[in-house]
Structure 1
Amino acid sequence: MHTILVIGGSRYFGKSLVTKARDAGHEVTVLNRGSSVPPAGVGHVVADRDDEEALRVALGPRGFDVVVDQVCYTPRQAAVARRVFAGRTGRYVMTSTMEVYDPATLPGRTAGGGRAPAAGPVPVPVTEDSLDLAHLLPTAPHTDPARAYAEQKRQAEAVFLREPAFPFVSVRTAHVLGGGREEFTGRLAHYVARIAAGTPVDVHAVPYATSFIHHREIAGLLYWAAGQSFTGPVNAASHGSLDVTGLCELAARRLGRRPRYRLVEQGAAASPFSFDRAYAMDNGRAAALGFGFGRVAEWLPGAITEAAEAAEATEG
């Protein structure tokens, strides 16, 4: 049995992670600001992770075998966590994102002579060693929200990597789908609604494939990563990348409709998952370490059905 602290863990696959660890017999505690109560049998610490002193007081003398950080979005949050949990945990797992690889957001600057994250063409599918974040220079947040999200996640990883205070893992997750109403981003619902209504889907003329993972699969991978001994980044993506038109075709078959498309110019905004650049992920490291991934083609039709049923229930 391990003592596991989950920072966040209040919705979607975070909830699945918490219940999975609890049901396996681990002593699980959730840390959040009190906006939601964890499930039965799970401890609860109420604190604002951005308030370092309040976080220390709320934790008291407690330590944990593993901390799984679901909601580390900025380098400041990472710096607070690194200081507070130094000496309190034997392992720290941060939920990161595949957006750290997005070539549209990558800087080209490093410190100390390290390899630049954007140096040369990024191999596709993208491997973990495509980025050298330990030498990433701190930067101010970008004004564009999408670019800021990717850059802040890179910077957060870099904080843990530059001055290691404990064994650290960053799980760079692909686009998470499935769960019907639980999938709060509404990205899959976007396609279901448009195709059902006969509304054109905005796509690039030559959309690139991207990576996906089922919500229960990423919960399982985070739980698995918490119990392993490896460190560093690991990509989390189901086998088989898919472009936006392939996604639309699957949705159309479920809905009994033909998808309609409207082309957008290179560099222009399009529907979710339509990309004019390549950065689908290679999941070889996690697979070699022993995690068994599913296939997008096997679980995505069911996720589309869930999204369609959720939409039908809302309309009813």
Structure 2
Amino acid sequence: MKRILVIGGSRYFGKALVTRAREAGDEVTVLNRGSGAPPRGVDRLVADRDDEEALRAALGRREFDVVVDQVCYTPLQAAVARRVFAGRTGRYVMTSTMEVYDPATLPAGPVGPGPVGPVPAPAVPAPAVPVPAVPVPVTEASLDPARLPLPGAAGRAPGPWPAYVYAEGKRQAEAVFLRDPAFPYVSVRAAHVLGGGPAEFTGRLAHYVERIAAGTPVDVHKAPYATSFIHHHEMAEFLHWTAGQTFTGPVNAASHGAPDVLALCEAVAERVGRRPRYRVVGAGAAASPFSFDRAYAMDNGRASALGFGSGHVADWLPGAITETAAAAG
């Protein structure tokens, strides 16, 4: 049994994590601003995580084996957490995102290789090699947040940010924990999380179900790249598994298989019984969710080597689509 604090934990896979940990026999506490009562048998602390004094007051003298931080979006939030939880926890798990790898949001300058499996520079310039026809999925070593420039716009409070600000906020939050460690730390870089029906509160899967069922065109790039996904139950399982491990550093959380947006549409079409229609967007134009004009699908090899048994997108996606279609009526 572990004493686990979940910061956030009131919706989506955070809520599923809390339930999973409680059912596993862990002593679970959630800390949030009071949004939604926790499940029976789970303690709750109410505080604004941005208010350092209020956070310390809410915690009192409590200590935890593991903190799972679901809602760290900025380096300022990470800095507060680093100060407050130093000496209070034996392990800190931050939920990050695959968006930290997105080349469209990366700042100029070197950012890799990262702390896992660094690649030494060659003694002499290497000859040019052809770009592979199929992009190689990114590993954790592709990004070292500690090499990033110091925070800028990412210090803003949470809000409806542009994608580049969200991604940079997560990168800089990771950097705060990594640059001067106060406790063993893990950043879980989550793939695009999907679920069925009401569980998928982002509405991204519903976007496809509704458009294809209605015969409305889906906006896609001319040659969209594959991307990574994970089911919300698998994401909760991954975080609970991570809480019980001893490894540190970044780890990619993704199901096996990386479909592109066209494959996703075909899967939806098979469940709703109507062929998808497409509208190709120009370079730089906005497209439907999960249509990407650049590659950064993730490699989940580190998690597999550490012992996590990832599922496969093809096994859970049809059920998630069916649930979403049923919820849409």
- Displacement of 1:132 in angstroms is 1.2
For residue 30 of structure 1, give the secondary structure of its aligned residue in structure 2.
Answer: strand
Residue 56 of structure 1 corresponds to: 56
Mapped to 1, the partners of 2:32 and 2:193 lie a distance apart of: 22
Matches within 5 A, 1:1-316: 1-109=1-109, 115=112, 124-141=136-153, 145-312=162-329
- Displacement of 1:40 in angstroms is 0.3
For residue 273 of structure 1, give the secondary structure of its aligned residue in structure 2.
Answer: coil
Which residue type is aligned with residue 128 of structure 1? E
Which residue type is aligned with residue 82 of structure 1? R
- Work out whether residues 189 and 250 of structure 2, in 8 Å CA contact, stay in contact via their aligned partners in 1: yes
Mapped to 1, the partners of 2:49 and 2:254 lie a distance apart of: 28
Which residue type is aligned with residue 56 of structure 2? R
**Residues 233-279 of structure 1: CA distance to partner in whole angstroms, max 9, x if unpaired?**
00000000000000000100111101000000122110000000000
For residue 30 of structure 2, give the secondary structure of its aligned residue in structure 1.
Answer: strand
Mapped to 2, the partners of 1:116 and 1:238 lie a distance apart of: 23
- Work out whether residues 191 and 254 of structure 2, in 8 Å CA contact, stay in contact via their aligned partners in 1: yes
- Displacement of 1:139 in angstroms is 3.0
RMSD over aligned Cα atoms: 1.9
Deviating above 4 A after TM superposition, structure 1's stretches of 4 or more consecutive aligned residues are: 114-117
- Displacement of 1:230 in angstroms is 0.1
| Identity value in percent | 77
How many residue pairs get matched?
Answer: 308
For residue 57 of structure 1, give the secondary structure of its aligned residue in structure 2.
Answer: helix
Mapped to 1, the partners of 2:57 and 2:47 lie a distance apart of: 9
**Residues 84-111 of structure 1: CA distance to partner in whole angstroms, max 9, x if unpaired?**
000000000000000000000111236x
- Work out whether residues 197 and 320 of structure 2, in 8 Å CA contact, stay in contact via their aligned partners in 1: yes
* TM superposition score normalised by structure 1: 0.94
Mapped to 1, the partners of 2:146 and 2:74 lie a distance apart of: 15
Mapped to 2, the partners of 1:259 and 1:148 lie a distance apart of: 32
- Work out whether residues 73 and 152 of structure 1, in 8 Å CA contact, stay in contact via their aligned partners in 2: yes
For residue 5 of structure 1, give the secondary structure of its aligned residue in structure 2.
Answer: strand
- Displacement of 1:135 in angstroms is 2.0
Mapped to 1, the partners of 2:45 and 2:302 lie a distance apart of: 34
Which residue type is aligned with residue 250 of structure 1? A
Mapped to 2, the partners of 1:43 and 1:201 lie a distance apart of: 44
Uncovered stretches (5+) of structure 1, i.e. residues with no partner: none
Mapped to 2, the partners of 1:179 and 1:64 lie a distance apart of: 33
**Residues 127-176 of structure 1: CA distance to partner in whole angstroms, max 9, x if unpaired?**
00001111212131269611000000000000000010000000000001
**Residues 47-77 of structure 1: CA distance to partner in whole angstroms, max 9, x if unpaired?**
0000001100110011100000000000000
Which residue type is aligned with residue 295 of structure 1? H
- Work out whether residues 108 and 116 of structure 1, in 8 Å CA contact, stay in contact via their aligned partners in 2: no
For residue 6 of structure 1, give the secondary structure of its aligned residue in structure 2.
Answer: strand
**Residues 266-296 of structure 1: CA distance to partner in whole angstroms, max 9, x if unpaired?**
2211000000000000000000000000100
For residue 235 of structure 1, give the secondary structure of its aligned residue in structure 2.
Answer: strand
Which residue type is aligned with residue 133 of structure 1? P
- Work out whether residues 7 and 69 of structure 1, in 8 Å CA contact, stay in contact via their aligned partners in 2: yes
- Displacement of 1:36 in angstroms is 1.3
Mapped to 2, the partners of 1:90 and 1:169 lie a distance apart of: 12
For residue 161 of structure 1, give the secondary structure of its aligned residue in structure 2.
Answer: helix
- Work out whether residues 97 and 174 of structure 1, in 8 Å CA contact, stay in contact via their aligned partners in 2: yes
- Displacement of 1:45 in angstroms is 0.4
Uncovered stretches (5+) of structure 2, i.e. residues with no partner: 115-120, 122-130
- Work out whether residues 212 and 237 of structure 1, in 8 Å CA contact, stay in contact via their aligned partners in 2: yes
Mapped to 2, the partners of 1:67 and 1:262 lie a distance apart of: 45
